[in-house]
Structures are given as structure tokens and as C-alpha cells.
């Protein structure tokens, strides 16, 4: 069967799910379906021709899906699989794009039927904006697609990795163990959000923001978070995140001590080292 004729279900047509749906449609997939609790989103996606069918519930639906992609908050991933399992073909692939892998993969490996395969993905692209209206079919072009395989990531699931790389326009695929992924994501994603939140909370009642230039705006850009989602991500990745926060504190302490010393030459050396701007090697 031509992969473009595969029956696909995307649960959660927000920024990520909507963008992948659009990428699939642009690539020529003919049977992409949306599952969401937001009727306006479903209607818009269907009107735009991004999805073939729109679902707010799957009761009574009988057609079998080749590929189910979950783009929901982590707490809804297992319930979604339990709801959709009877609608998946033998060797059907269930994929998720959550930000934390260790806990999620363990739970899915325990919950999934032997006839189904698991694909844990993390496309390294996105936006501080949320919702279908900000989705776009070329969001992932040039990005890295991270996969975290498990014992359930077998031949069919790996075939879908190659398909998605081409569909989404990802430059390369990087395969990481779940623990390594979670440590990396704590450093490059979770800690920047923690720092942005702390910076924005320093003077919450002041009028300082009216004087803010590009640096403040850039540093606090990701502070506008979905609190429920991020509370879950930070809690699930607690150990790795706390380790990264500790490393950040060490670097902040180095700066604080040099500033306190009043030694401008030593401070300049440290700033050059920390910024990576070593002009002596140029």
C-alpha cells in the first residue's frame, strides 16, 4: 500500500499536531483525521482540507488506523491509547511527541497490546505560541527529529520515522536513550523556562517592563507557559531538571563572585569564557 493512503489519526490539533497534520496533507496523505475536544479547531482544520474527518469521540467508529499520533498532554496519552487501541490495525503504530520519555515509555510499554508498536518522538522545533491557529506545515523544516526507541519500536515504527522525516522536512534523525533524552531536554528546554519564569517574577508589580529592550523580552519570551502542562513536565523530569538547575546556580555563583570582587579584568575574562567569545583563538 502507498504510505500516502495510510489511515492516520492525530489526537490534539494544537501547534504540534496541527503542524504535522498540515505537513502530511501537503505531502499528499489522503486520509488524515483529527481528534480534539475543540469543535472550532476541528471545523477549521476540516474546512481547510487538512483533515478528512473530525472526531470529538470515537465510540462506534469501526475503521482501523495504520498510525495514531498523540499530541496531547502527558496525562492523556495512556487514556488515549486505551480508547483507540481497538481501532488500530495489527502492527499499527502508536506515536507520541511528549517532552519526557522515561516515564512515558515505561507506562506505554506496560499498557500496550503486543500487536501494536510504539514510536516516541520529539521534533526539536516549536513556538511559545499555542493552538491550531499558529500551526504551519513547514514548522519542522530543517529541524532535528529525536526518537527514543524501546522494545516496542519495531520495523513498522521505524518505517514511519523515515516517512515523518521526509514529510516534516527534518534535516536529521537522532536516536537517544530515554534517560539521555530527558537529561538533554532538562538542559536545553526546561531550565530556560525556569530561568525565564524566575526573571519575570523578580519584580512582578513594577513598571520596569516598559523600559525593557530586546534582551529582557528575549529572556522572558518562554515565561508565558501552560502552567498545568509545565507542572507535569517539570515534576516528571524532576531529577534531571534539579541537576540542571544546580549547574545553572554554580555558573550564576561564579558570576556573582567576580562581580562582587570588583576586579574588572577577572570579570572580563570570565565573561569571555562563559560567552564562548575567545578572540585570542581567532
Q: What's the pLDDT score for residue 274?
A: 94
Picking from 176, 210, 236, the residue at the C-terminal end of a domain is 176
Beta strands across the sheet bearing 117-123: 54-55, 32-35, 8-11, 65-70, 88-96, 117-123, 144-147, 172-175
Q: Are residues 58 and 195 in the same domain?
A: no
Tell me the three-class secondary structure of 91-112, residue by residue: EEEEEECCCCCHHHHHHHHHHC
Q: What's the pLDDT score for residue 278?
A: 55
Number of domain units in the chain: 2
Q: Are residues 53 and 146 in the same domain?
A: yes
Q: What's the pLDDT score for residue 128?
A: 67
DSSP H or E run through 70: strand 65-70
CATH of residue 26: 3.40.50.720
Picking from 157, 176, 195, the residue at the C-terminal end of a domain is 176
Q: Are residues 130 and 186 in the same domain?
A: no
Q: Are residues 137 and 194 in the same domain?
A: no
Q: What's the pLDDT score for residue 282?
A: 40
* Rounded Cα distance, 55 and 75, in Å: 20
Q: Are residues 44 and 172 in the same domain?
A: yes
Q: Are residues 144 and 260 in the same domain?
A: no
Question: Helix or strand or coil: residue 71?
Answer: coil
Structural domain range at position 146: 3-176
Q: Are residues 64 and 136 in the same domain?
A: yes
Q: Are residues 154 and 230 in the same domain?
A: no
Q: Are residues 205 and 149 in the same domain?
A: no
pLDDT tens over the chain, length 282 residues: 589 999 999 999 999 999 999 999 999 999 999 999 999 999 999 999 999 999 998 877 878 999 999 999 888 999 999 999 999 999 999 999 988 899 999 999 999 999 999 999 999 887 767 899 999 999 999 999 999 999 999 999 999 999 999 999 999 999 999 999 999 889 988 999 999 999 988 877 666 667 777 888 888 888 888 888 888 889 888 999 999 999 999 999 999 999 999 999 999 999 999 998 655 444
Q: Are residues 204 and 259 in the same domain?
A: yes
* Rounded Cα distance, 180 and 26, in Å: 33
Q: Are residues 41 and 163 in the same domain?
A: yes
Picking from 110, 144, 176, the residue at the C-terminal end of a domain is 176
CATH of residue 274: 1.10.3660.10
Q: Are residues 15 and 132 in the same domain?
A: yes
Q: What's the pLDDT score for residue 211?
A: 75
Amino acid at each position: 500500500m502507498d504510505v500516502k493512503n495510510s489511515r492516520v489519526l492525530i489526537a490534539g490539533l494544537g501547534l504540534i499536531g496541527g503542524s504535522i497534520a498540515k505537513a502530511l496533507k501537503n505531502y499528499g496523505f489522503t486520509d488524515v483525521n483529527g481528534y480534539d475536544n475543540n469543535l472550532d479547531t476541528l471545523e477549521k482544520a476540516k474546512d481547510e482540507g487538512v483533515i478528512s474527518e473530525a472526531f470529538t469521540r470515537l465510540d462506534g467508529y469501526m475503521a482501523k488506523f495504520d498510525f495514531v499520533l498523540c499530541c496531547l498532554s502527558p496525562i492523556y496519552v495512556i487514556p488515549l491509547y486505551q480508547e483507540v487501541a481497538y481501532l488500530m490495525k495489527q502492527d499499527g503504530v502508536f506515536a507520541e511527541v511528549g517532552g519526557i520519555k522515561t516515564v512515558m515509555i515505561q507506562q506505554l510499554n506496560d499498557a500496550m497490546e503486543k500487536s501494536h508498536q510504539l514510536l516516541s518522538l520529539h521534533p526539536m522545533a516549536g513556538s511559545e505560541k499555542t493552538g491550531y491557529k499558529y500551526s504551519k506545515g513547514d514548522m519542522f523544516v530543517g529541524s532535528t527529529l529525536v526518537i527514543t526507541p524501546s522494545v516496542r519500536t519495531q520495523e513498522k515504527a521505524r518505517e514511519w520515522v523515515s516517512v515523518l522525516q521526509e514529510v516534516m522536512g527534518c534535516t536529521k534523525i537522532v536516536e537517544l536513550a530515554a534517560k539521555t533524552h530527558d537529561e538533554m531536554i532538562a538542559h536545553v528546554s526546561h531550565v530556560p523556562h525556569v530561568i525565564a519564569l524566575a526573571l519575570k517574577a523578580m519584580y512582578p508589580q513594577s513598571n520596569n517592563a516598559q523600559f525593557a529592550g530586546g534582551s529582557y523580552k528575549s529572556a522572558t519570551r518562554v515565561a508565558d507557559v501552560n502552567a498545568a502542562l509545565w507542572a507535569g513536565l517539570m515534576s516528571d523530569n524532576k531529577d534531571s531538571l534539579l541537576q540542571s538547575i544546580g549547574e545553572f546556580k554554580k555558573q550564576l555563583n561564579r558570576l556573582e563572585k567576580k562581580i562582587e570582587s570588583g576586579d574588572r579584568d577577572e570579570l572580563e575574562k570570565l565573561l569571555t569564557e562563559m560567552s564562548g567569545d575567545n578572540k585570542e583563538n581567532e
